[in-house]
């Protein structure tokens, strides 16, 4: 593909004090823990993209989706890529719903992780956000 910046949408699905993460199977960030998400498609809103990617990757349904922040990330490996990534936050429609690994070629599996005890290694854009003190939970 032509070398142009692409738009990613990633979503912090919050459940209690935990967030949903999955270990990536991908040329970008292989084996690291990342948020569900993917590429913005033509005509989509950020909310629609977050809900669609989450549904495709985990089967989960969300509500109360809102915008948190955006990043501009340049990946040098395995080949140059640039993503403007939109980070959304959402709650589960039904807190009992269990994430499924619907794209096993792209993710080893999903689980809930306590924000104070995140797994290693995190996907590096996410690692950078955590290190900068970013917190996706609403202020109490
Ligand atoms: P698609 O074909 O389903 O649209 O794409 P995908 O295979 O699900 O794409 P992805 O790599 O999961 O997400 C697109 C890009 O978004 C990713 O390559 C880089 C950027 N991105 C971040 N942080 C995160 C994150 O925490 N999770 C995800 N999934 N993507 C992220 O910068
Ligand atoms: Mg996807
Ligand atoms: Mg994805």
Delineate the domains of the chain, giving CATH numbers in brackets.
6-130 (3.90.79.10)
Q: Which ligand is nearest to the CA of 29?
A: 1
Rounded CA separation 21/49 (Å): 17
pLDDT digits (tens, 9 = 90+) for 92-132: 999 999 999 999 999 999 999 999 999 999 999 999 999 99
- Stated pTM of the model: 0.97
Alpha helices in 13-132 (DSSP H): 46-58, 124-131
The reported pLDDT for the residue numbered 1 is 61
With a 6 Å cutoff on the Cβ, whether 19 touches ligand 1 is: no
Rounded CA separation 1/89 (Å): 30
User: How would you classify the pairing of strands 6-15 and 81-92?
Assistant: parallel
pLDDT digits (tens, 9 = 90+) for 13-65: 999 999 999 999 999 999 999 999 999 999 999 999 999 999 999 999 999 99
Index of the ligand 1 atom closest to the CA of residue 126:
26
Q: Return the closest-CA partner of residue 37 out of 106, 104, 108, 122.
A: 106
The two tokens of residue 7 are 């738009």
Rounded CA separation 67/116 (Å): 22
User: Which residue carries 């970013």 as its tokens?
Assistant: 134
Q: Which ligand is nearest to the CA of 53?
A: 2
């Amino acid at each position: 593909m032509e070398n142009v910046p692409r738009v990613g949408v990633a979503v912090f699905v919050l459940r209690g004090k935990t967030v949903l993460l999955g270990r990536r199977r991908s040329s970008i960030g292989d084996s690291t823990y990342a948020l569900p998400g993917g590429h913005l498609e033509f005509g989509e809103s950020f909310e629609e993209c977050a809900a669609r990617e989450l549904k495709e990757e985990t089967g989960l349904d969300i509500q109360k989706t809102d915008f948190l922040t955006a990043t501009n990330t340049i990946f040098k490996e395995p080949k140059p890529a640039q993503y403007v990534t939109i980070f959304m936050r959402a709650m589960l429609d039904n807190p009992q719903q269990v994430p499924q690994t619907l794209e096993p070629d792209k993710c080893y599996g999903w689980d809930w992780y306590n924000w104070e005890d995140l797994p290693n290694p995190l996907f590096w854009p996410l690692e950078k956000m955590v290190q900068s003190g970013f917190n996706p939970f609403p202020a109490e």
